[in-house]
């Protein structure tokens, strides 16, 4: 129980820090600086590496962050936020999801990074800025903010052929190299 309490206190501190930083410097603060500031209190190693004894909410955050990182590591922070919002939107709508992080991102053939890769083989590196940004993006979308107008689907047209679902669902955003779609038909 002590482990879970210390992680919960750390997450609450990070949330408080985030609320303090953002309003004071909206124009001077960039995502890398914010991610670095938040990483000054690193997550516990038990949580980061998927230790079965670590509490599930921490493992879910790391799994979401790893998915965002692998899907959008070459994208801007806005692109990472958009991918995070898609994961959250899918969970909330139970769209190809059981409503959990794991049941959303690890569902077969839904998120490319996990098609041929086992999540236990990928570790969250708290010193990697792109991974820090991915975790920050996940935490920021938890307040329900609308980043991509309810999108539950996305793809990169430079990497794959246009999927059938992209021809019938409404495109709501293009951020970086990704195009985002909600489940409303055209």
* pLDDT tens track for 52-66: 444 466 889 999 999
Burial string for 12-41 (b: 16+ CB within 10 Å, else e) reads eebeeebeeeeeeeeeeeebeebbebbbee
Report whether 73 contacts 130 (CB < 8 A).
Answer: yes
Place of tokens 């493992």: 59
Q: Which of 141, 61, 163 is nearest to 105 (CA)?
A: 61
Q: What is the pLDDT of residue 52?
A: 45
- Percent of the chain residues topping a pLDDT of 70: 68
Residue range 153-178, pLDDT digits in tens: 999 999 999 999 999 999 999 999 99
CATH of domain 2-147: 1.10.10.2520
Write down the pTM of the prediction.
0.72
Q: How does residue 186 score in pLDDT terms, banded at 50, 70 and 90?
A: low
Question: Which is more confident, 184 or 155?
Answer: 155
% of the chain surpassing 90 pLDDT? 54
User: pLDDT: is 132 or 13 the higher one?
Assistant: 132
């Amino acid at each position: 129980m002590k482990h879970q309490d210390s992680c919960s206190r750390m997450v609450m501190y990070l949330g408080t820090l985030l609320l303090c930083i953002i309003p004071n410097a909206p124009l001077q603060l960039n995502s890398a600086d914010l991610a670095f500031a938040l990483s000054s209190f690193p997550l516990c190693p038990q949580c980061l590496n998927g230790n079965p004894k670590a509490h599930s909410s921490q493992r879910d955050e790391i799994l979401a962050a790893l998915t965002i990182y692998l899907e959008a590591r070459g994208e801007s922070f806005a692109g990472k936020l958009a991918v995070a919002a898609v994961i959250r939107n899918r969970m909330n709508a139970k769209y190809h999801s059981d409503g959990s992080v794991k049941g959303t991102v690890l569902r077969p053939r839904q998120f490319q990074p996990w098609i041929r890769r086992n999540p236990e083989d990928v570790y969250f590196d708290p010193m990697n800025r792109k991974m820090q940004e991915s975790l920050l993006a996940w935490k920021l979308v938890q307040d329900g903010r609308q980043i991509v107008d309810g999108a539950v689907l996305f793809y990169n047209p430079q990497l794959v052929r246009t999927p059938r679902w992209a021809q019938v669902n409404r495109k709501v955003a293009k951020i970086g190299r990704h195009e985002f779609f909600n489940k409303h038909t055209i």
